[in-house]
Every structure is written in C-alpha cells, then in structure tokens.
Amino acid sequence: MSNRTYSNIIVETGDVRVTRVTINRPAVLNAMNYAALEELKEALLEIDKDPDVRVLVITGSGDKSFVVGADLKEMQSSGGEPERAEAFEALGRQTLNLIDGLGKPSICAVNGYALGLGLQLALACTFRIASSKAKFGLPEINMGFLPVLGATQRLTRLVGEAKAAEMILVGDCIDAAEAFRIGLVNMVLPEAQFMAFIDRFTERLAEKEPMAIRLAMAAIKKEKGTSLKDGLSYEAELSKSLREEARCLKTRSVGDKDGTEI
C-alpha cells in the first residue's frame, strides 16, 4: 500500500495483512460525494493488487454514522444535471463492485446510520457487523428514485424478496436487532465492545490461507444463479485447484531445503 493521504477517507495498515478504510466526512455524517467515491475506488484498486493485504475493514468516522448516503447537497449544487448524476452512479457501481469482487474478505463495521449508498456499500462487503446503535435503510423511494448501486440484487439475495421489497418500497429504517433477525448483518455488538470485536474477528480472518479464502469465496458466489449440481461441481474444481497449489508449494519448500533448483 502507498502512503498517500486522502481528503475524504483514512487508510490505515497497522497490521500489514489488514487494511482499514474509514469514510472521513463526519461533518455531513459521512455522506459520500464524488471525490470520496473516487478516493475509495483508488484505495480499493491498491488493496486489490497488494498480496500482503488479506482483509479489508470499512467503517465511518465519528460516533453517529457509518455512511448516511450520497451527499445530496453536492448533487443539488451542481443543478441536478443528469450527466453528473449518471457519472456519480457509474462511479458508485464500479466502486462497490470492486469490494464485492476483491477475493479478500471485507468487513463492514457499521458504527451508526447506514442509509442509501451507505447500506449499499455494506451489502457489497463479505461481512456486516453492527454496533447496537446502528440503523439501516434505503430511503431513495421517498425522494422519487431507486437504490441502484446493487441493493435490488444484493439485498434480495441476502434477506429474501419479501423483506427486500419492504425495505426498498416502503423506505423505512430498521434497527440493528431487526437487521440481525432478517439476516442483513452477521452479528450485533454493544457499542463498548464493538471495535475490539472487529479487531479480533479481523485477526482470525487474516490468519487463514489466502488462496483457500479466495477460492471459498468464489464457490460461495457461484451459488447465485446456478443449480446445486453445477455449484457443487464448481466447488469440487476449486478444491482440486487448492490441492494442486498446496502440492506446488510443498515441492518448492522441499527444493529450497535440499538446495535443489526448482
């Protein structure tokens, strides 16, 4: 990872295997503007190509909000130009798809409001772990537009069509306990224990073999839109690839020990 300093996000790599990205716009409850999305995309591209980074954590600064949504004031200040809105949407989709396709576990540490774009960002992550004070919602329908950065697809796959329709079409917020009940988040922690648990959970993931993690994640994603038979066959192919890789590593290790050139 580079040592670049960003204006809207904070990128920290305390443990070389773990990178934490904090959305850092607390004055607007971490609402995402175009510049913040660009910075997040750039950071993700670096994380993707860095083999030392095994786990990504995304959270929000302050004690009120993870990401409250898109920065509507910036949208309005640009005159609501369709071209600007389209560019923002395209950038948002690219950025969230990067998270979804990393091949490395991503943990969304939801420390407060996760609304609109914020919830859609969380949905792109592998795990969603919430503070007990977290709130979740997709209020776009109340403003006459749609949550089009993956919510209609990722949320439906996660919680089922009925609950997804309720959240998207009604536009109400739910609390952390309800989010856990419907399967939107993996777990809910008291605020006092929240970040300490995130650190421990992250450490456990970072200890795993990266290739095994990557292939397991690929197999899990393969389940979407495929038959059980095809999914199981794909899983078997990935297992074979992992065994072959392990054999290659073992062979290289033996060669290093006895001085044999591989």
Mind listing the pLDDT tens digit for each residue in 22-68? 999 999 999 999 999 999 999 999 999 999 999 999 999 998 999 99
The pLDDT value recorded for residue 260 is 37
Residue 97 lies in a domain: yes
Residue 192 lies in a domain: yes
- The pLDDT of residue 217 is above 90: yes
Separation in Å, CA 217 to CA 20, 22, 106, 223, 230: 20, 24, 11, 10, 16
Residue 4 lies in a domain: no
In terms of domains, do 29 and 142 share one?
yes
Q: What total number of domains does the chain contain? A: 2
- 3-class DSSP state for residue 7? coil
Residue 123 lies in a domain: yes
Residue 129, strand partner residues: 109, 187
| 63 Cα distance to chain centroid | 20
In terms of domains, do 22 and 79 share one?
yes
In terms of domains, do 161 and 107 share one?
yes
Residue 3 lies in a domain: no
Q: Which of 163, 181, 206 lies at the terminal end of a domain, its last residue?
A: 206
Provide φ and ψ at 103, rounded to 5°: 80, 10
In terms of domains, do 134 and 229 share one?
no
**Selected residue with higher pLDDT from 82 and 60:** 60
In terms of domains, do 52 and 117 share one?
yes
Q: Which of 171, 189, 206 lies at the terminal end of a domain, its last residue?
A: 206
Contact 53, 12 (CB under 8 A): no
Residue 141 lies in a domain: yes
CATH of the domain at 183: 3.90.226.10
Residue 48 lies in a domain: yes
In terms of domains, do 251 and 190 share one?
no
Average pLDDT, the chain: 89
Q: How far apart are CA 260 and CA 178, in angstroms?
A: 59
Provide φ and ψ at 137, rounded to 5°: -175, 160
In terms of domains, do 146 and 221 share one?
no
In terms of domains, do 184 and 222 share one?
no
Q: How far apart are CA 45 and CA 34, in angstroms?
A: 17
Please enumerate in sequence order all residues whose Cβ is within 8 A of that of 67, keeping only pairs 6 or more positions apart, or say none.
Answer: 23, 29, 30, 31, 32, 60, 113, 114, 115, 117, 118, 121
pTM of the complete model: 0.88
E runs forming strands in the chain: 9-12, 18-23, 55-60, 65-67, 106-110, 113-115, 127-131, 135-137, 173-175, 187-189
In terms of domains, do 198 and 112 share one?
yes
- The pLDDT of residue 232 is above 80: no
In terms of domains, do 173 and 247 share one?
no
In terms of domains, do 166 and 62 share one?
yes
Q: Which of 206, 224, 242 lies at the terminal end of a domain, its last residue?
A: 206
Q: How many C-beta atoms surround the C-beta of residue 13 within 10 A?
A: 15
Q: 236: domain range?
A: 210-258
Termini Cα distance of the chain: 30
- The pLDDT of residue 235 is above 50: yes
Mind listing the pLDDT tens digit for each residue in 178-193? 999 999 999 999 999 9
Q: How far apart are CA 229 and CA 219, in angstroms?
A: 12
